């Protein structure tokens, strides 16, 4: 056996990692040159030896594996070498499992895509979850025919898209085939739809590696995610893989460097103990770096995780950081629970407090960790939070076993039920409150308890009823459908509501865009003086009257009458401002309580009559 073969065997043993608890298998051989003969005579026999060793440890006929992460990137892999590896995969003695292939920066062609398509759709092979095959510089480039053939193979197989049992939903296959020189990549989606299959380019921000936004919105799950597929620019550099002895030497040097860093100890300025780096947070090192290094006192402000304390929101005790798990440290400060309290309590998403597990119903207890739970008290205060999801939970398939024997509906039917069971018009229901866009009000369920809080508002609120009549009569208009820019309402008039009157629409349409006026910098102090509204983006909108008055002020300042003019203008502005404020109150009351314009006041309550008498003075 040559030195190269011996070094390659050592690299295979170093890159092999099998977790006996999670049953995940990792094989990393990136950066080492792999020829077809090396794969056949060195890599595969060494893998058989490692699999046999793990099988003897687990005492099984096959090595139980849930997911395989195979990294063969930048190995100079060719079509012949990949074909030899895939052909011998079934003879290694590994059980059927999920697959993740990393084959980027190699010398593969479209033939390898066809081979992979036959491999991952075979019945005895597991499910392909990820395939990374970018930056290929083989003798031939990837062609549209090979990509379409691979995608059609996936769409014709019953294993794709992938069914996620834990979340009871479908997920697409994550593919990365960019930087391979494929012509017209954006047209592949249309060609796949002609054959009855769908793909997604993962442009939506809701698309992640394990979920697609199209499936979440009920439009059906695509068979694959082609991430960064439109970028088919060939790579400018071509890093060459190292030989097995050089790669082994580099790996040993890197391992020695990491061992040296791990063994380094740092001094805590509070307890004065020398501890490893994982006992300090990043903020402690950032504080120490701000100190003068020449004084040698930077360790005095650095404290370890046992010296830094914070309160637990459940038990209220002041505990060290080591008493909190990593997932709790990701929560906002003030909502973190220590390890014992995390096991004994659940977080109520509505009242935002940790509660004992006995304060949650059996339905809430069956929810997963990633789904928010609601305690019994909050369930009584807000009956709308889970009401729309009860039917979907009943027919989701969890109650198909005896004694219930309820049918399991498909995901499309459940999504249709959710769309039909949405909130009433103008009403948006949140975890602890509901808001009415027509009345521009938000009310808390904790303050307005009862099973008919929303219905009581819709039936008995006189303001809601009168504004609804005004909307039907055309006196109220939805701001989004008014045909006028939203900035004119938000910044120009200061209107934050979703509805407004016709007078406000006309007023917003008549506003002058100051950014289009040249030069506007000289007018800014005069515009502020006449009362133009200034938003976060600056002074932009002004009414024609304000603009004309500002121009008059600027001309008067140039003529030398600035003092007298400003004095007289200020008195006049005060009177006009008072009259304008009173007129706005009258318009608002008229819009609220006289939507049809022909009300005789017989149906007005005492508060409305008192308000009208006050404004009529």
Domain extents for the chain? Answer: 310-425, 501-615
SS3 63: strand
| Dist. CA 486–CA 484, nearest whole Å | 6
Percent of the chain with pLDDT over 70: 81
Contact assessment for residue 473 and residue 513, using Cβ atoms and an 8 Å cutoff = no
Q: Which residue has the higher pLDDT, 198 or 446?
A: 198
Q: Which tokens is 125 given?
A: 């092979």
Between CA 130 and CA 405, with CA 216 as vertex, the angle to 5 degrees is 100
> Looking at residues 435-452, what average pLDDT do you find?
75
pLDDT (0 to 100) of residue 386: 58
| Dist. CA 197–CA 207, nearest whole Å | 18
pLDDT (0 to 100) of residue 368: 73
pLDDT (0 to 100) of residue 427: 81
Of 99-113, 196-210, 578-592, which range is least confident?
A: 578-592
Tell whether the model's pLDDT for residue 170 goes beyond 50.
yes
The overall pTM is greater than 0.85: no
> Other CB atoms closer than 10 Å to residue 242's CB: what's the count?
17
Beta-sheet pairing, 224-226 with 199-200: parallel
Contact assessment for residue 14 and residue 31, using Cβ atoms and an 8 Å cutoff = no
pLDDT (0 to 100) of residue 531: 77
Query: Length of the chain, please?
Result: 617
SS3 376: helix
Tell whether the model's pLDDT for residue 547 goes beyond 90.
no
pLDDT (0 to 100) of residue 295: 46
Side-chain-side CA neighbours of 109 within 13 Å: the count stands at 9
Q: Which tokens is 121 given?
A: 């759709």
pLDDT (0 to 100) of residue 121: 92
> Looking at residues 337-343, what average pLDDT do you find?
91
Of 472-481, 575-584, 604-613, which range is least confident?
A: 604-613
Tell whether the model's pLDDT for residue 604 goes beyond 60.
no
| Dist. CA 460–CA 445, nearest whole Å | 17
pLDDT (0 to 100) of residue 98: 93
Q: How confident is the model at residue 559 (pLDDT cuts 50, 70, 90)?
A: low
Q: How confident is the model at residue 106 (pLDDT cuts 50, 70, 90)?
A: very high
Q: Which residue has the higher pLDDT, 427 or 77?
A: 77
> Looking at residues 467-486, what average pLDDT do you find?
86
pLDDT (0 to 100) of residue 585: 66
pLDDT (0 to 100) of residue 422: 62
pLDDT (0 to 100) of residue 601: 47
pLDDT (0 to 100) of residue 431: 64
| Dist. CA 495–CA 374, nearest whole Å | 35
Of 69-83, 188-202, 223-237, 524-538, which range is least confident?
A: 524-538
pLDDT digits (tens, 9 = 90+) for 286-323: 766 555 444 445 556 788 888 999 999 999 899 999 89
Tell whether the model's pLDDT for residue 131 goes beyond 90.
yes
Residues contacting 353, CB < 8 A, separation 6+: 313, 347
pLDDT digits (tens, 9 = 90+) for 55-100: 887 777 788 899 999 999 999 999 999 999 999 998 898 989 999 9
Q: Which residue has the higher pLDDT, 183 or 301?
A: 183
- Secondary structure (DSSP) of 438-464: TTTEEEETTTS-STTHHHHHHHH-HHH
> Looking at residues 224-245, what average pLDDT do you find?
85
Please, is 574 exposed, middle or buried when counting C-beta atoms within 10 Å of its C-beta (0-12, 13-18, 19+)? exposed
Q: Which residue has the higher pLDDT, 575 or 160?
A: 160
pLDDT (0 to 100) of residue 294: 44
| Dist. CA 380–CA 338, nearest whole Å | 29
Place of tokens 């007078």: 503
Q: Across the beta sheet with 224-226, what order do the strands follow?
A: 16-18, 24-28, 67-71, 98-102, 128-132, 173-176, 224-226, 199-200
Phi, psi dihedrals of residue 137, rounded to the nearest 5°? -130, 60
> Looking at residues 392-405, what average pLDDT do you find?
74
Beta bridge partners of 174: 130, 225
Question: What's the chain's average pLDDT?
Answer: 81
Q: Which residue has the higher pLDDT, 561 or 527?
A: 527
Residues contacting 531, CB < 8 A, separation 6+: 546, 573, 577
Q: Which residue has the higher pLDDT, 298 or 347?
A: 347
């Amino acid at each position: 056996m040559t030195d190269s073969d011996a070094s390659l065997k050592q690299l295979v043993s170093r890159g092999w990692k099998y977790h006996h608890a999670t049953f995940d298998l990792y094989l990393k051989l990136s950066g080492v040159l792999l020829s077809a003969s090396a794969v056949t005579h060195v890599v595969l026999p060494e893998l058989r030896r490692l699999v046999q060793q793990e099988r003897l440890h687990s005492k099984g006929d096959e090595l139980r594996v849930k997911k395989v992460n195979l990294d063969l990137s930048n190995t100079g892999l060719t079509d012949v070498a990949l074909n030899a590896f895939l052909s011998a995969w079934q003879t290694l003695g590994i059980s059927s499992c999920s697959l993740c292939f990393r084959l980027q920066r190699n010398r593969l062609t479209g033939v390898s895509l066809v081979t992979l398509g036959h491999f991952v759709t075979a019945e005895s092979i597991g499910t392909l979850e990820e395939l990374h095959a970018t930056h290929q510089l083989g003798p031939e480039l990837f062609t549209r025919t090979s990509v379409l053939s691979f995608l059609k193979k996936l769409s014709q197989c019953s294993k794709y898209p992938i069914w996620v049992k834990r979340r009871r939903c479908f997920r697409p296959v994550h593919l990365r085939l960019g930087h391979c020189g494929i012509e017209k990549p954006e047209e592949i989606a249309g060609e796949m739809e002609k054959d009855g299959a769908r793909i997604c380019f993962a442009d939506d921000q809701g698309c992640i590696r394990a979920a697609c936004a199209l499936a979440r919105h009920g439009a059906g799950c695509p068979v694959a995610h082609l991430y960064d597929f439109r970028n088919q620019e060939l790579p400018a550099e071509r890093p060459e893989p190292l030989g097995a002895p050089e790669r082994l030497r580099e790996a040993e040097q890197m391992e020695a460097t990491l061992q040296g860093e791990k063994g380094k100890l740092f001094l805590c300025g509070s307890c004065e103990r020398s501890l490893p780096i994982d006992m300090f947070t990043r903020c402690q090192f950032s504080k120490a770096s701000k100190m003068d290094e020449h004084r040698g006192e930077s360790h005095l402000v650095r404290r370890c995780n046992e010296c830094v304390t914070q309160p637990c929101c459940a038990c209220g005790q002041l505990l060290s950081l080591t008493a909190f798990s990593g997932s709790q440290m990701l929560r906002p400060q003030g909502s973190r629970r220590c390890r014992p309290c995390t096991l004994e309590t659940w977080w109520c998403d509505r009242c935002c407090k940790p509660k004992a597990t006995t304060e949650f119903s059996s339905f809430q207890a069956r929810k997963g960790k990633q789904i928010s739970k609601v305690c019994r008290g909050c369930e009584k205060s807000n009956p709308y939070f889970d009401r729309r999801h009860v039917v979907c939970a009943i027919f989701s398939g969890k109650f198909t076993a005896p004694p219930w024997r309820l049918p399991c509906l498909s995901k499309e039917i459940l999504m249709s039920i959710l769309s039909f069971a949405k909130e009433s018009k103008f009403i948006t229901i949140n975890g602890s409150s509901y808001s009415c866009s027509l009345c521009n009000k938000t009310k808390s369920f904790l303050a307005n308890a009862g099973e008919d809080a929303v219905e009581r508002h819709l039936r008995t609120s006189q303001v809601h009823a009168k504004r609804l009549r005004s909307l039907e009569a055309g006196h109220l208009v939805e701001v989004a459908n008014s045909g006028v820019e939203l900035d004119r309402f938000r910044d120009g008039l200061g209107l934050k509501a979703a509805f407004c009157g016709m007078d406000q629409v006309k007023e917003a349409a008549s506003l002058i865009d100051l950014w289009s006026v040249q030069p506007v910098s000289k007018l800014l102090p005069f515009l502020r003086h006449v009362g133009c509204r200034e938003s976060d983006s600056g002074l932009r909108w002004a009414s024609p009257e304000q603009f004309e008055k500002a121009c008059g002020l600027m001309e008067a300042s140039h003529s030398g009458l600035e003092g007298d003019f400003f004095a007289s203008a200020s008195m006049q502005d005060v009177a006009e401002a008072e009259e304008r404020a009173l007129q706005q109150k009258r318009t608002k009351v008229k819009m609220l309580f006289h939507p049809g314009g022909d009300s005789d006041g017989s149906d007005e309550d005492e508060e409305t009559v008192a308000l009208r008498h006050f404004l009529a003075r």
